[in-house]
Structure 1
Amino acid sequence: MGLFARLTRRWNTGGGAPGLTIDPAHGDPELTLLRERALAGDWPGVRAVLDRAVDQDDLTLMIGLLADVTGSESWLGQALAADPEDPVTLLAHGARHIHWGWEARTAARAQHVSEEQWKTFHERLEAGEELLFKAAELDPELLGPWLFLQMSGRGASVDRSAARHRFDAALRRSPGHPASHRQRLQQLRAKWSGSHEQMHSFARASMLAAPEGSPLGELVALAHIEHWLSLPSGEDAAYMGRNQVRDSLHEAADRSIRHPDHVRGRTWAQTHNTFAMAFYLAGQPHAANLIFQEIGNAVCEDPWNYLGGDPVDTFRRVRAACA
């Protein structure tokens, strides 16, 4: 979900909402430094931060942030030309190509994408996949290629078996990786190659298979939001108001962000924002308000962009309503 929502807009700087801003680095000092150096085109400085990643999950998160920086394909290409066999540089350049491809396609519906946009989209995805597969071959322990290959695979319409293989490859390297699970959830949407039933089943099974306190409970909330988004006006509110939906949201929150064993990672705010919106849509303002209190001003663009308008203003409005 996160990638597609960012395709046609820059990071919001807060609009008319004093005290609120969307921070791609999630307020994390290390990620902030990485982004500053990336915006300056400082590859040696960027690489120094990447080399401090604590594990594959951390490195993949950093690469994703880097891949969102407009224009980074230029100096990443130069870095790769200087060291064409370096797996991390291949990973970074490949990930950028995947994001760059989706930027060319835009978030418009397929019938509104021009022939030239489709051509550029597929060219960039193809180039990105080649780089990612080479990175994976040179360093089989890398998680990153398999996350970004899930993103490209959806755009390239790979068959179900290939899509599943890419997800399984990510899980072999990091069984509880939230971003890979989010990508798999997207793949199972009815819009792509799945159904509501497959999407919800995957979300719940993933949550139950994870240790209590895991952030994977977010998948249940995300699945309900995606289901809500697919329904016409009136039916969407009725769906979110079902007792079954509300009960499943509380169960998921109790097993994840409300569980005493829950540990906040670098991107904890993404999970909390998703639950806050899901509870709001489900007519549970008290539950949403408690989460808003934990979020503070750590607003994320996703999922508030689903409600239309400026995400920061939407966050502020919903937070006030729930309070």
Structure 2
Amino acid sequence: MPQGGHYIHLAWEARGGGLAKDVSADGVAAEGVAAFHRRLGIADKLLGRVVSEDPGTTDARRLRLNVSRGLQQGADRTRDHYLGLAAHDPHDYVAQSRLLQPPLPKWGGSWDEAFAFARQCRLVAEPGSLNPVVLAQAHLERRLNVGGEKDPAHLRRPEVRDELAGAARESVLHPGFRGGYRSVEAHGHFAAVFGSAGEHALAAPHFRALNGYAGEFPWALLRSLTSLGRGTAYKRLRRRAARAGG
């Protein structure tokens, strides 16, 4: 199984950071396309072997979601991988986070598809679980809309704010929250969406929970919002949250 993950890492390293529409034989990352597909193909075979030998394994099934997205095997194939995992763990947050990606417009999907999936994750989530965080991820993606027209006003819409506040109450702010080491990522997403919306009082409890810590995500997605002389988006939004009651 470590070999499968290693080949995925090597594949994405060869591919580069371009969008799906740019990574083709004529695209900006053309020189890495052949290696990308070859390495993902190797990873898929290795992970498939693990799954066949141990159907209950979740790690290998999660990694196959990355492979399916990279090879653009289609929504049906990706969902099949997810359903195989969900049969053993119907509330796997990591898998749900990865399954959010294929329906996004930047990978050829639509916002309706992406939000339908994210809202379903919240609907069936157990109180205090990580799963409603997928909805915060979807809204942040809509705000940034990588590869398309950005929508800065999206997070400021009252219905979006209310939906996100409800998701936060059901997950990271729930008395029974059990996020483990993913708490930093989870609180980070809510801090980012509320801070980016100008709802700094709502962002404040999440920055307090972070206590100065930050993960790569979601903050790597907000690099475009970083201002010279004013620090990163994380630092700027944290300062504003502190003034608002943090």
| Shared fold per TM-score greater than 0.5 | yes
Identity of aligned residues (%): 29
- Whether 1:272 and 2:187 are equivalent positions in the alignment is yes
Give TM-score, length-normalised by structure 1. 0.68
Q: Which residue of 1 aligns with 2:217?
A: 302
Mapped to 1, the partners of 2:199 and 2:59 lie a distance apart of 37
- Whether 1:254 and 2:165 are equivalent positions in the alignment is no
Mapped to 2, the partners of 1:113 and 1:96 lie a distance apart of 24
- Whether 1:195 and 2:74 are equivalent positions in the alignment is no
- Whether 1:232 and 2:149 are equivalent positions in the alignment is yes
Deviation at 1:304, TM superposition (A): 1.2
Deviation at 1:101, TM superposition (A): 0.5
Q: Which residue of 2 aligns with 1:313?
A: 232
Cα deviation 1:289-309 (Å, max 9, x = unaligned): 111011012211111122226
Judge which range, 137-146 or 177-186, deviates more. Answer: 137-146
Q: Which residue of 2 aligns with 1:138?
A: 53
- Whether 1:285 and 2:200 are equivalent positions in the alignment is yes
Evaluate the alpha carbon distance shift between residue 192 and residue 254 of structure 1 in structure 2; reply closer, same or farther with a 3 A threshold: same
Mapped to 2, the partners of 1:307 and 1:163 lie a distance apart of 27
SS at match of 2:180: coil
SS at match of 1:301: coil
Q: Which residue of 2 aligns with 1:99?
A: 9
Mapped to 1, the partners of 2:96 and 2:29 lie a distance apart of 31
Which residues of structure 1 form unaligned runs of 5+? 1-90
Mapped to 1, the partners of 2:16 and 2:225 lie a distance apart of 18
Q: Which residue of 2 aligns with 1:213?
A: 128
Mapped to 1, the partners of 2:59 and 2:179 lie a distance apart of 21
RMSD: 1.8
Deviation at 1:264, TM superposition (A): 2.7
Paired amino acid for 2:57: L
SS at match of 1:232: coil
Deviation at 1:115, TM superposition (A): 2.6
Contact 1:245 1:282 (C-alpha < 8 Å) held by counterparts = no
Mapped to 2, the partners of 1:190 and 1:129 lie a distance apart of 24
Contact 1:147 1:180 (C-alpha < 8 Å) held by counterparts = yes
Give TM-score, length-normalised by structure 2. 0.88
Deviation at 1:271, TM superposition (A): 0.6
Mapped to 2, the partners of 1:232 and 1:186 lie a distance apart of 18
Number of aligned pairs? 231
